[in-house]
Amino acid sequence: MKHLDMKNDLPEGVLAQRDTGLYSVTPRMPLGNITPEQLSVINSVVQEFDLPGVRVTAGQRLKIQSIPEDKVRAVIDRLGAVGEFCKYYVQVCPGSASCRMGMQDSLDMGARLESRLNALDLPCKLKAGVSGCSMCCAESFVRDIGLVGKKHGWTVVFGGNAGKRVRKGDVLADNLPGDEALELIDAVLALYAEEGRKGERTARFVERVGIGAVRAGLSMD
């Protein structure tokens, strides 16, 4: 059986499930939130196309999976705006809005970060984690970009990865007000966009150039 050409035919955001002829799509769910209307669209797509259901991903999204090849485009059309592709996903914890441990408003910070990230064009995929306190429920130290809320502001972490070669991210700064934390993230991602190799995650980028060079590039020496 000839499957869809990965590079040329697949709509953005659709992934092949190995060589099974089945595909999956993960609709955008900003900050892990989903409205009743969006949920209703996803539910009707699953039922209309007789799909087995959805899976909750580690990144707080609902993955619609086991879509037969001949139904991929129809599923994408039916999802419409709900199936919008999200380039860079931000994982957040509930933060001070509803967690008694929360020191900072991670939901608001995550929303601000996500809108900035999705305007960028980076060398590789990027994951971010925004945690409202040092418990780090959004896994901020093993994300490309991490934010951790403290009593007096935000800790900014860069270059973490939870994959095959685990790397704990480096702390670039502590106790920054929200605006300054986002400005520092803009600056370090501009450096990564300029000097990172295509397909190189931030963890591998930091290992190659050294965190000292990253700090020097940010004039943090």
Positions that interact with ligand SF4 (CB under 6 A): 93-95, 99, 101-102, 131-133, 135-137
Query: Cβ closer to ligand SF4: 150 or 215?
Result: 150
Q: How far is CA 66 from CA 1, 2, 51, 60, in A?
A: 17, 17, 7, 19
- CA–CA dist 134, 104 (Å, integer): 10
- CA–CA dist 205, 73 (Å, integer): 36
CB of 136 vs ligand SF4, minimal distance in Å? 6
Query: Cβ closer to ligand SF4: 132 or 196?
Result: 132
Query: Cβ closer to ligand SF4: 65 or 131?
Result: 131
- The pair of structure tokens assigned to 59 is 């990144």
CB of 127 vs ligand SF4, minimal distance in Å? 16
CB of 170 vs ligand SF4, minimal distance in Å? 20
Query: Cβ closer to ligand SF4: 46 or 157?
Result: 157
Q: Cα 59–64–67 angle (5° rounding)?
A: 140
CB of 130 vs ligand SF4, minimal distance in Å? 9
- Residue 153: phi and psi, rounded to 5, are 145, -155
CB of 117 vs ligand SF4, minimal distance in Å? 20
Query: Cβ closer to ligand SF4: 32 or 159?
Result: 32
What is the radius of gyration, based on Cα positions, of the chain? 19
- CB count within 10 Å of CB 213 equals 14
